[in-house]
Amino acid sequence: MIYLDNAATSYPKPEVVYEAIMNQMREAGANPGRSGHKMAIEAGRQIFAARENVAKLFNIDNPMQVVFTGNATESLNLAIKGVLRPGDHVITTSMEHNSILRPIKTLEKLGIENTIIQCDFAGRVEVDAVRGAIKDNTRLIVMTHASNVTGTLMPLEEVGKVAKEHSILFLVDAAQTAGIFEIDVEKLNIDLLALPGHKGLMGPQGVGILYIREGVEVMHFKEGGTGSRSEELIQPDIIPDRYESGTPNSPGIAGLAKGIEFILEAGLNNIRSHEEALTQYFIDELKKIEGVKIYGPHNAKEQAAVVSININEEDSSEIAYILDKVFNIAVRPGLHCAPYAHKTIGTFEQGTVRFSIGYFNKKEELQQVVAAIKEICSQLH
């Protein structure tokens, strides 16, 4: 199979990730932070090492500000619902995933206003539009680093500056860029960073991360056992314990730690260069095929390694089905949990066929994909 669905989850994972998961379960399979015996201490040590790896990759001062969750969706919900209060206002964009839009829409019912800034046809947002949307009660700006539909990169540095100037919290959804692009929470003025462990960070499914800048008050939404201050009936305010009640996904976190080590060794620049070169090659080849419509910036420098297309007026699910069944190529059709993004680029009815490239993809695979698309187009004419 040619796997081009890395925006949903990366596959395959580095060999060291598979090994780390098995080793954790075999050799440190006790419950971390609980019992105090040797194996429990080793399990806790491995989780702390994972926090340190996350901190290193994103230039986070204090690893204890790294909270493990189940996925990026949980991280975004924790941040959005934990920060906003009735009477507040939040700004976001029309290119966001439902993991941002749905919590924001739910909060409307509690008297939390929102502004969804309209992006252009290629998914770009104007920084001035963000600035212009700020009101006295704006408490949060939340946006993705790159669209999961078109790959379009957002102007994080500029928006981060605007947020800082106005003392507004800045939450970034790095689901499509973490482990591929340099993200420095200090340089970009990021207060809250939501990450999936299972995409570019190369870990297994079932792990997410939320970085919370020291001093930012985020209300927890679950209470329970943390292994700390058990004598108290109220949730401890120690971070990360406050947000991590219940037994963690220790095997998943051990896998994520190795995924990040793999990335640090390979080098973010090398990973990005490889994906950028393949993306540009793919876009250039697609442009030559009659009947193919490409969405987004059409320029690998302005987008993550995500390319959405349509073939004439064909249903995107039909094309993805043919790619899978006839050519053994895995892609994702439809709306990609981002309906406003599809409204923005004019594909709400048709959806798009999304090809998402990962570090393990090779040029020869994309050559085969281009040949497959040519053949589908010629059959349809």
Ligand X SMILES: Cc1ncc(COP(=O)(O)O)c(C=O)c1O
Do 184 and 154 meet the contact criterion of CB atoms below 8 Å apart?
no
Question: If binding is defined by CB under 6 A, does position 77 make contact with ligand X?
Answer: no
Query: Which H or E run includes 375?
Result: helix 363-380
Question: If binding is defined by CB under 6 A, does position 10 make contact with ligand X?
Answer: no
Instruction: Find the part of the chain contacting ligand X (CB under 6 A) among 47-55, 69-77, 294-302, 341-349.
Output: 69-77
Instruction: Find the part of the chain contacting ligand X (CB under 6 A) among 44-52, 85-93, 111-119, 169-177.
Output: 169-177
The count of chain residues that interact with ligand X, using the rule CB under 6 A, is 14
End-to-end CA distance of the chain: 27
Nearest to ligand X of 14, 252 (CB atom): 252
Indicate the pairing of strand 353-356 with strand 306-311.
Answer: antiparallel
Collapsing DSSP to helix, strand or coil, 142 comes out as: strand
What separation in angstroms does the CA of 175 have from each of 66, 73, 141, 198?
Answer: 16, 9, 17, 9
For residue 71, the minimal CB distance to ligand X (Å) is 3
For residue 380, the minimal CB distance to ligand X (Å) is 29
Which one of residues 6, 46, 65, 144 is an interface residue with ligand X (CB under 6 A)?
Answer: 144
Residue given tokens 């539009």 in the structure block: 129
Question: If binding is defined by CB under 6 A, does position 204 make contact with ligand X?
Answer: no
Question: If binding is defined by CB under 6 A, does position 173 make contact with ligand X?
Answer: yes
Do 148 and 99 meet the contact criterion of CB atoms below 8 Å apart?
no
Do 211 and 192 meet the contact criterion of CB atoms below 8 Å apart?
yes
For residue 95, the minimal CB distance to ligand X (Å) is 9
For residues 245 and 228, give the distance between their C-alpha atoms in angstroms, rounded to a whole number: 10
For residues 43 and 136, give the distance between their C-alpha atoms in angstroms, rounded to a whole number: 46
Question: If binding is defined by CB under 6 A, does position 176 make contact with ligand X?
Answer: yes
Alpha helix segments (H runs only) across 207-267: 250-266
- For residue 93, the cross-strand partners are 117
Question: If binding is defined by CB under 6 A, does position 6 make contact with ligand X?
Answer: no
Q: What is the DSSP letter of 194?
A: E
- Binders of ligand X in range 20-49 (CB under 6 A): none
For residue 141, the minimal CB distance to ligand X (Å) is 16
Do 322 and 376 meet the contact criterion of CB atoms below 8 Å apart?
yes
Question: If binding is defined by CB under 6 A, does position 73 make contact with ligand X?
Answer: yes
Question: If binding is defined by CB under 6 A, does position 196 make contact with ligand X?
Answer: yes
Nearest to ligand X of 44, 208 (CB atom): 208
Nearest to ligand X of 7, 254 (CB atom): 7
Which one of residues 81, 97, 242, 342 is an interface residue with ligand X (CB under 6 A)?
Answer: 97
Nearest to ligand X of 171, 175 (CB atom): 175
For residues 194 and 171, give the distance between their C-alpha atoms in angstroms, rounded to a whole number: 7
Question: If binding is defined by CB under 6 A, does position 261 make contact with ligand X?
Answer: no
Question: If binding is defined by CB under 6 A, does position 208 make contact with ligand X?
Answer: yes
Chain residues in the site for ligand X (CB under 6 A):
7-8, 71-73, 97, 99, 144, 148, 173, 175-176, 196, 208
